[in-house]
Amino acid sequence: MYDRLDRRERMRLMKFVCSFAWADLEIRSEERAFVKSLVERLTLDEDEQAKVSGWLEVPPDIESIDPTLVPHEHRRIFLETIEGVIESDGEIAPEERENLRVFEALLE
């Protein structure tokens, strides 16, 4: 599934994933593990991994996250991956649920 994403799209996906992990203002160990696993699956290089690590310390700028820039053919991948990160800790916070709802609406 992820092999259809080019480098730019992989980093865009990671930016979204990290921003959703921050929705409840806390990055839990399960979310970190999910992100780490995803980084490995996406085979990100060292610079890309460093950016992702930074997004786990400080959330990405909200202005840099625009769902309308997600190509139509990749929207399902983004949505499923984001659902994965918000479900990874076994608890979906109201903020996460609302952000996901808004994200889905913007992708339509």
The four Cα atoms 97, 103, 105, 108 give a dihedral, to 10 degrees, of -140
- How confident is the model at residue 24, as a pLDDT? 87
* Token digits of residue 70: 């997600």
Domain at 2-107, CATH from 1.20.1530, 3.30.70, 1.10.3680, 1.10.10: 1.10.3680
Q: What is the pTM of this model?
A: 0.92
Q: What is the pLDDT along the chain (108 residues), one digit of tens a residue?
A: 899 999 999 999 999 999 999 988 989 999 999 999 999 999 999 999 999 999 999 999 988 899 999 999 999 999 999 999 999 999 888 888 998 999 999 888
* Residue from 67, 74, 61, 78 nearest 14 by CA: 78
Write down the domain spans for the chain.
Answer: 2-107
CB atoms within 10 A of CB 24: 18
* Residue from 22, 5, 10 nearest 85 by CA: 22
* Token digits of residue 17: 């994933």
